[in-house]
Structure 1
Amino acid sequence: MSSPRPRLSRSESLHQQIARQLRNEITAGVWQDGDTLPSSRDMATQWNVSVFTINEAMRVLSDQGLVVSKSRSKRVVRLPDQERRSPVRLRRPNVIVVGGYAGSGKTELGRILARATGWAILDKDSLTRPVVEAALEVMGLSPHDRESEAYLNVIRPREYEALMDAAEENVECGNSAIVTAPFVRELRDDLWVSRMHSRFASMEARVHLVWVYCDAQTMQTYIRRRGAARDAAKLASWPEYLAGVDTAFRPSAEHYLIDNCVSADPLLEQANEVLKSILGTEPA
């Protein structure tokens, strides 16, 4: 995590924002039990804050038992149960479809759910990005294009087709899956949602929709932090991009809502509530 961190919102305590983002990374497995975090000075440079602010953030994580100070300059991640979770094998496979706008925290949530259950995680970018970039270049477009009509109308539908095919293949093998992608168009389309439910029901699998909400300022922070080339156009014209983002959108179909704003409950706690509900309704 050596890349420069984004500017933080002044509407929330800076050290709490840093603590939250690092906590999400730890629970999502980005930082593993035993990993050494960068020094306070290095993190202060990354986040563009004072060393005091970093130390306050580390104090929060230490109080939560996630970080142990070995010395004044060495802090180690402490999550001993990180690799000891038993896979959850159910009689009927489950498919958790996680949607949300760019930078909302979909992948982090998916990773947390996957680590807790042992279910396959199918992330659109991880599965399709190399092929998508190659296809865009063949078409004479930038490999990072995600805004043109050619991408939206030709390539994007095939991305989602490949993603859902991968989910179906897992279900056919009796495996549950967690599928992460924006799904902004798809979850606005009641017919698409109905067909998806029917398709998986025919394979004796249950579908659970999850929408990740994040306010615009926090989304921008997450997008800047991840530093992905495909986000350059969004960040270069943020007001224009934001004009097309409906943060108030919620799927009309039954779904779980995750609040990933800085002031919300930790993702881990919300993920556990979702799993408790899903597993609690598992048919006998």
Structure 2
Amino acid sequence: MPRLLFFCGHAGTGKTTLAHRLIGPLMQVTGEPFCLLDKDTLYGGYSAAAMGALTGDPNDRDSPTYLKYLRNAEYDGLLDTARENLALGISVIVVGPLSREVRDHLLHDPKWLRVPAGTIVRTLWVHLPEDEAHARIVKRANPNDAYKLAHWDDYRTRRFMPEPAQYPELAYFDNTAPDDAALNALLATLAA
């Protein structure tokens, strides 16, 4: 049965870098084909065009306008693409914040997910202390983060750290400075 692996967490936590690092080892360990679906890669150009037309700022990914008109549509398309691959027997890594969906326990709700029966679903919450995430966002200098940085006090109200007791469906990974042992343990968890 194919796997659906979510790499979730807030901006700047290294979700995409971690997914890139683990996809090859996951294919080796499981013997399964995987595809990587990163929200920013799939929808970056589309969102830039849409937000440029709506607000005049093609790099806006956090304003109320973006959240109202594009956020859910991006995630719907991301999950539809994942479902299509899963139906073909291809395992999928989905990379995106998905914080609302995590908060509402949707990523393990079969009715909401609508994935093929027997699909193995794992959700990884990649996290860092807020100050470290902020420093990484500043360092990467991605124009899509400009709104977030300019409105950090508002953005940080959307940041949350799911408590393990309330979110037992999550695997947690502190991406501050992972060593080989931590990465190998994570690989074993995702491949189980």
Q: TM-score range by the shorter chain?
A: 0.7 to 0.9
Identity of aligned residues (%): 32
Q: Are residues 197 and 256 of structure 1, via their aligned partners in 2, closer, same or farther at CA, if it must alter by over 3 Å?
A: farther
Given that 1:96 and 1:177 are in contact with CA atoms closer than 8 Å, whether structure 2 keeps it comes out as yes
Please say if 1:229 is aligned against 2:118. no
Output aligned runs, 1:96-111, within 5 Å.
96-111=5-20
Segment drifting more, 93-102 vs 182-191: 182-191
Given that 1:197 and 1:207 are in contact with CA atoms closer than 8 Å, whether structure 2 keeps it comes out as no
Given that 2:62 and 2:148 are in contact with CA atoms closer than 8 Å, whether structure 1 keeps it comes out as no
Matched residue of 1:221: which SS?
helix
1:215 Cα deviation (Å)?
Answer: 0.3
1:188-231 deviation line (CA, Å, top 9, x unaligned) = 113464146752242x3111010011001110121112111011
Q: Are residues 252 and 278 of structure 1, via their aligned partners in 2, closer, same or farther at CA, if it must alter by over 3 Å?
A: same
Aligned amino acid, residue 249 of structure 1: P
2:31 aligned residue: none
- Structure 2 residue runs of 5 or longer lacking an equivalent are 28-33
2:162 aligned residue: 249
Given that 2:49 and 2:58 are in contact with CA atoms closer than 8 Å, whether structure 1 keeps it comes out as yes
Task: Determine the C-alpha separation between the residues in 1 that align with 2:170 and 2:11.
Answer: 19
1:12 aligned residue: none
2:62 aligned residue: 147
Q: Are residues 236 and 274 of structure 1, via their aligned partners in 2, closer, same or farther at CA, if it must alter by over 3 Å?
A: same
Task: Determine the C-alpha separation between the residues in 1 that align with 2:130 and 2:92.
Answer: 29
TM-score by length of 2: 0.85
Matched residue of 2:188: which SS?
helix
Given that 1:211 and 1:256 are in contact with CA atoms closer than 8 Å, whether structure 2 keeps it comes out as yes
Task: Quote the RMSD (CA, aligned, Å).
Answer: 2.2
Of the three residues 77, 81, 94, the one matched with 1:179 is: 94
Highest CA radius of gyration, 1 or 2? 1
Output aligned runs, 1:194-209, within 5 Å.
194-195=109-110, 199-202=114-117, 204-209=118-123
1:4 aligned residue: none
Given that 1:99 and 1:181 are in contact with CA atoms closer than 8 Å, whether structure 2 keeps it comes out as yes
1:111 Cα deviation (Å)?
Answer: 0.8
1:99-137 deviation line (CA, Å, top 9, x unaligned) = 000001111111112121342111100111101111112
Given that 2:37 and 2:94 are in contact with CA atoms closer than 8 Å, whether structure 1 keeps it comes out as yes
1:34-56 deviation line (CA, Å, top 9, x unaligned) = xxxxxxxxxxxxxxxxxxxxxxx
1:5-36 deviation line (CA, Å, top 9, x unaligned) = xxxxxxxxxxxxxxxxxxxxxxxxxxxxxxxx
Aligned length in residues:
184
Given that 1:95 and 1:177 are in contact with CA atoms closer than 8 Å, whether structure 2 keeps it comes out as yes
- Structure 1 residue runs of 5 or longer lacking an equivalent are 1-91
TM-score by length of 1: 0.59
Matched residue of 1:104: which SS?
coil
Task: Determine the C-alpha separation between the residues in 2 that align with 1:278 and 1:147.
Answer: 30
Output aligned runs, 1:11-90, within 5 Å.
none
